[in-house]
Amino acid sequence: MGSFVPATDRDKKEMLSAIGIDSIEDLFGQLPQDVKLMDGLNLPSGMSEMEVCRKMEGIAAKNTVFPVIFRGAGAYRHYIPAVVKSVLSKETLYTAYTPYQAEISQGILQSIFEYQTMICELTGMDTANASVYDGAAAAAEAVAMCRDRKKTKAFVSAAVHPQVMETIKTYCFGNGMELTVIPEKDGITDLNFLKEHIDGQTACVYIQNPNYYGSLELAREIGSIAKAADAKYIMGVNPISLGVIKTPEEYGADIAVGEGQPLGLPLAFGGPYIGFMACTKELIRKLPGRIVGETVDFNGKTGYVLTLQAREQHIRREKALSNICSNQALCALAVGVYLSAMGAEGLKQTAIQCMSKAHYMANQLEAIGYPVINHGEFFHEFVTISKVPVEKVMSALEEAGILGGYPLTGERAGQILWCCTEMNAKDDIDRVIGILREV
Amino acid sequence: MLIFEKGQEGRKMSILPECDVPISLPKEDDQRKKSLHLPNVSENEISRHYTEAAKKAYGVNDGFYPLGSCTMKYNPKINEYIASLPGFAQIHPLQPEHTVQGCMEVLKTTEQYLCEITGMDRMTFQPAAGAHGEFTGLLLIKAYHESRGDGKRTKIIVPDSAHGTNPASASMVGYSVISIPSGEDGGVDLEELKKVVGEDTAGLMLTNPNTLGLFDRNILEITNIIHEAGGLTYYDGANLNAIMGMIRPGDMGFDVVHLNLHKTFSTPHGGGGPGSGPVGCKNLLAEFLPNNLVEEKNGYLFKSPVQSTGQVKSFYGNFLIVVRAMTYLFMLGKEGIPEASKHAVLNANYMMAKLKDVYDMAYPRTCMHEFVMSLSRLKKENGISAMDIAKGLLDHGIHPPTMYFPLNVSEALMVEPTETESKETLDQAITVFRSLYETAKLNPEILHQAPVNTSVTRLDEVRAARNLILRYDFSDKETDKDDTEN
């Protein structure tokens, strides 16, 4: 059996005698006898570290690690510089607690302050929080923070990631906000529907840019419609795209959110990921989650602390806007290291490569009879129609060690959502084209 | 020095190869015009920057961390190795099911272990933290009442000693909160409970042992009172480390429970996340659980409950945290799980016994895995607050206990030593606590000044909140060409 308890029999004896009892069981005498576990847990016995290691390696080996991936749909394979893992492996950083004791947590607080700055720079917004669970939770929290007594409706584009939509729905079921889905038209948000239905009770309009199908939205126009109705404008964005595409601030957004996983976090079967949230100055006090601020110590030396905690559950308790306390600090650290390693120029090059490879692949696919159905501009994802059954396409690619695009369902059955990043070499794209030609 | 203040314009790392396809750019109108300031640094500078950050931080690896209600136990290194295996770390969440059978086995097996430990029937791993689990658990309660057309249940009962997230979570789900005081023995006051419970009770949120470090002896009666009124009972798993393998929330009458894998099951806190807050429930609530439960049927497959509350975040939760927890559970197994609890409780009672002649204990009876001291006498007589003692501990290389919590004890310090600390460590800490008491009596000024051996001295939190500086300001570095350049 494995154990991490250092107490020896002798230690135990001395401790029991200091307490003045005979056995550890005496400490549990207050538990109700009739529901106490008398026969113990119905579980296997514990194992040595070596046995567990073998067992877990065996379980990991049951998964297929695809060397080549053309699937995105909310989780993206990008190159992660080696220095990211090196920094994240520093034991002090990954075993620390939430930095309530600021004097011994300056390293963590400073790294969050740097992260906040980088998110502001990426999005063009004024303030960012110290992260939330993931992009979907960030979207749902953003919608919730727009609510006030008179404004309780949320308009959300049908072209957002389906899991983001589901998460927003769940939060609205909780807080009672009325959710209206703005239908899509030709793969982007239907502006006319929004114009006709938005009203004075609308708290916010939420769109994703590039949207779920990879297309750029008419983001400026949607912002104007939201503004005219005095509603807040929330944009969900892919952070890599911001290396080359206009920021939410430039499109007129009040709040920018997104999934930070592309910035240095592995695919990890869906988590841990990181949600980022940034907003204009006016909304700072409504921004949920942790925020780090700069201050000075007794001697006037610069330092960092968690601040604006009056918004949080410590003080307002039942009036708090959000219950978030622990965020994704270690993931925020990864983002900080990633963006430091890339720099502005590196991020821009990454974005350009993602976009260029996607366009190259789209052209090649069209040439072999997989028409692209995105009407306007797209970033690094796009949708094609498949002339052969999608399962057949996917199996053929899988046999070659390639994870193909994501098969869409429902009304879009028969369509494939493809994704390219800087990781997809031209050779791999050409290989896919060659295989599809044969299918 | 911030990372933005290091490096030089033009300095960079070489990460990317040349682009091997023709370049495509967005239309001029969709291109970013706003300048983007990120560090201009070499790999060496990055590496040293974060080594310096680590020196100005304090993890479980650096020393004793007796933080009440947070269970800062040692994080076994095997967990980290397993979580980094490509077979877990490099799997796309939307791969076909037959290519992710290992990941699904992790979810299913961990579910089975944790259901056995909690006495629940099903469990979701979607919630990413304890508070997120509370939100999810309360959604189940809400969905349950709504499915029965029982719309009048609008209130959640929460003891005054509860974690601050409990009322906040209830509020996010649209419930109003009834706070009930603790009785003289530190448990729920049964008479008060009977007074407030009724047809409008949606449920009760409770942690047991509670945040006073005490096991509520009336627990069976409490859950019974709620059930008889038609409400449901929610178990906050923050303190499960005291009882796992000894008694189960499900057997105590709880219908839904959240766990904190980053507390009880030894996954690192990461400076405040990523955590994982799985939610377990009895069968009557299982049909409302979030999407994508794992079923076993000639292999594993995902299935969503018919009346699912949908998603509380993307995909299946913080999967790599679950991998770590499962590694830990495999190591401990049937015998090791209760052993951990027993020693957590032993360590807490030992420290309490060795300190109670100087520090006042809020409830001087057998505690569970944590105990609460009240420094109100010290404050009155010597002007030394819980904060002062906490800051004094920093100078001795010990992470302070939780301060000013629970709220119903004045000048509270809440100590949780955990089972992974040795007797020597506890003895050293006891010596430090006792010497700080002496200092408080004889030389209080020293404690008002503490800490002095840290990278910064006591920080001005009021100033931070009044004069908001929430990001680095590049404006004095801007040149006139900025914002016009591409």
- For residues B419 and B359, membership in a common domain is answered with yes
The pTM score is 0.97
Q: Are A186 and A156 in contact (CB under 8 A)?
A: no
Contact (CB<8Å) A105/B270: no
> Mean pLDDT over residues B134-145, rounded?
97
Is B40 part of a structural domain of the chain? no
In chain A, what percentage of residues exceed pLDDT 90?
A: 94
> Mean pLDDT over residues B458-484, rounded?
80
Tokens of B339: 């052993």
- Whether the per-residue pLDDT at B272 is higher than 80: the answer is yes
Tokens of B142: 């809400």
- For residues B125 and B236, membership in a common domain is answered with yes
Residue B160, CB-side half-sphere exposure with 13 Å CA sphere = 11
Give CA–CA dist B242/B212, Å, rounded.
13
- Whether the per-residue pLDDT at B410 is higher than 80: the answer is yes
- The predicted pLDDT at position B477 comes to 63
| A chain contacts of residue B316, beta-carbon cutoff 8 Å | 269-271
- Whether the per-residue pLDDT at B481 is higher than 60: the answer is no
- The predicted pLDDT at position B162 comes to 84
Q: What is the pLDDT of residues A154-197, one digit of tens each?
A: 999 999 999 999 999 999 999 999 999 999 999 999 999 999 99
Which domain CATH number covers B364? 3.90.1150.10
- The predicted pLDDT at position B480 comes to 44
Residue tagged 């302050």 (tokens):
A113
- For residues B313 and B435, membership in a common domain is answered with no
Expressed as residue numbers, the domain containing B304 is 77-331
> Mean pLDDT over residues A133-157, rounded?
97
> Mean pLDDT over residues A243-261, rounded?
98
Strands B360-361 and B371-374: antiparallel
Average pLDDT, chain A: 96
Domains in chain A (CATH in brackets) are 68-79+343-438 (3.90.1150.10), 82-338 (3.40.640.10)
Alpha-carbon distance A250 to nearest alpha carbon in chain B (angstroms): 8
Q: What is the pLDDT of residues B369-388, one digit of tens each?
A: 999 999 999 999 999 999 99
Residue tagged 């920093």 (tokens):
B394
Select from B290, B314, B331 the last residue of a domain.
B331
Task: Tally the domains of chain B.
Answer: 2
Strands B122-124 and B155-159: unpaired
Select from B331, B363, B387 the last residue of a domain.
B331
Tokens of B340: 């951990």
- For residues B181 and B215, membership in a common domain is answered with yes
> Among A315-319, B197-201, B385-389, B419-423, which is the least confidently predicted range?
A315-319
**Nearest 5 degrees, angle CA B329-CA B333-CA B334?**
135
Q: Are B290 and B124 in contact (CB under 8 A)?
A: yes
Q: Are B52 and B46 in contact (CB under 8 A)?
A: no
Is B60 part of a structural domain of the chain? no
- The predicted pLDDT at position A387 comes to 86
Q: What are the distances in angstroms from CA A170 to CA A149, A195, A201, A211, A339?
A: 20, 25, 20, 21, 32
- Whether the per-residue pLDDT at B484 is higher than 60: the answer is no
- For residues B273 and B422, membership in a common domain is answered with no
- For residues B325 and B362, membership in a common domain is answered with no
Is B478 part of a structural domain of the chain? no
> Mean pLDDT over residues B94-101, rounded?
98
pLDDT band at residue A363 under the 50/70/90 scheme: very high
Chain A, residues 90-109, CB within 8 A of chain B, namely 90-99, 101-108
- The predicted pLDDT at position B164 comes to 81
Give CA–CA dist B218/B239, Å, rounded.
17
- For residues B257 and B395, membership in a common domain is answered with no
> Mean pLDDT over residues B267-273, rounded?
96
In chain B, what percentage of residues exceed pLDDT 90?
A: 94
Give CA–CA dist B92/B315, Å, rounded.
10
Cross-chain CB nearest to B16 (options A174, A269, A353): A353
Is B15 part of a structural domain of the chain? no
Contact (CB<8Å) A355/B26: yes
Which domain CATH number covers B169? 3.40.640.10
> Mean pLDDT over residues A82-111, rounded?
97
Contact (CB<8Å) B23/A1: no
Cross-chain CB nearest to B336 (options A2, A97, A294): A2
| B chain contacts of residue A4, beta-carbon cutoff 8 Å | 73-74, 76, 266, 340, 419-420
> Mean pLDDT over residues A131-141, rounded?
98
Type of residue found at B473: D
Contact (CB<8Å) A120/B471: yes
Q: Are A433 and A393 in contact (CB under 8 A)?
A: no
- For residues B214 and B192, membership in a common domain is answered with yes
> Mean pLDDT over residues B330-338, rounded?
98
Type of residue found at B330: F
Is B310 part of a structural domain of the chain? yes
Give CA–CA dist A142/A136, Å, rounded.
10
Please list, in sequence order, all residues whose beta carbon lies within 8 angstroms of the beta carbon of residue B476, skipping any fewer than 6 positions away.
none
- For residues B192 and B316, membership in a common domain is answered with yes
- The predicted pLDDT at position B298 comes to 92
- For residues B308 and B393, membership in a common domain is answered with no
Q: Are B286 and B269 in contact (CB under 8 A)?
A: no
> Mean pLDDT over residues A75-95, rounded?
98
Contact (CB<8Å) A94/B270: yes
Is B422 part of a structural domain of the chain? yes
Is B18 part of a structural domain of the chain? no
Cross-chain CB nearest to A107 (options B54, B173, B340): B54
- For residues B323 and B353, membership in a common domain is answered with no
Q: What is the pLDDT of residues B148-194, one digit of tens each?
A: 999 999 999 999 888 888 999 999 999 999 999 988 889 999 999 99
Cross-chain CB nearest to A245 (options B26, B167, B177): B26
> Mean pLDDT over residues A300-311, rounded?
90
Chain A, residues 193-222, CB within 8 A of chain B, namely 216
- For residues B299 and B397, membership in a common domain is answered with no
Give CA–CA dist A330/A25, Å, rounded.
39
> Among A335-339, B56-60, B481-485, which is the least confidently predicted range?
B481-485
| 3-state secondary structure string across chain B | CCHHHCECCCCCCCCCCCCCCCCCCCCHHHECCCCCCCCECCHHHHHHHHHHHHHCCCECCCCCCCECCCCCCCCCHHHHHHHCCHHHHCCCCCCCHHHEHHHHHHHHHHHHHHHHHHCCCEEECCCCCHHHHHHHHHHHHHHHHHHCCCCCCCEEEEECCCCCHHHHHHHHCCCEEEEECECCCCCECHHHHHHHCCCCEEEEEECCCCCCCCCCCCHHHHHHHHHHCCCEEEEEHHHHHHCCCCECCCCCCCCEEECCHHHHCCCCCCCCCCCCCCEEECHHHHCCCCCCEEEECCCEEEECCCCCCCCCCCCCCCHHHHHHHHHHHHHHHHHHHHHHHHHHHHHHHHHHHHHCCCCEECCCCCCCCCEEEECHHHHHHHCCCHHHHHHHHHCCCCCCCEECCCCCCCCEEEECCCCCCCHHHHHHHHHHHHHHHHHHHHCHHHHHHCCCCCCCCCECHHHHHHCCCCCCCCHHHCCCCCCCCC
> Mean pLDDT over residues A11-26, rounded?
98
Q: Are A394 and B43 in contact (CB under 8 A)?
A: no
Alpha-carbon distance A351 to nearest alpha carbon in chain B (angstroms): 9
Is B308 part of a structural domain of the chain? yes
- The predicted pLDDT at position B53 comes to 98
In chain A, what percentage of residues exceed pLDDT 70?
A: 98
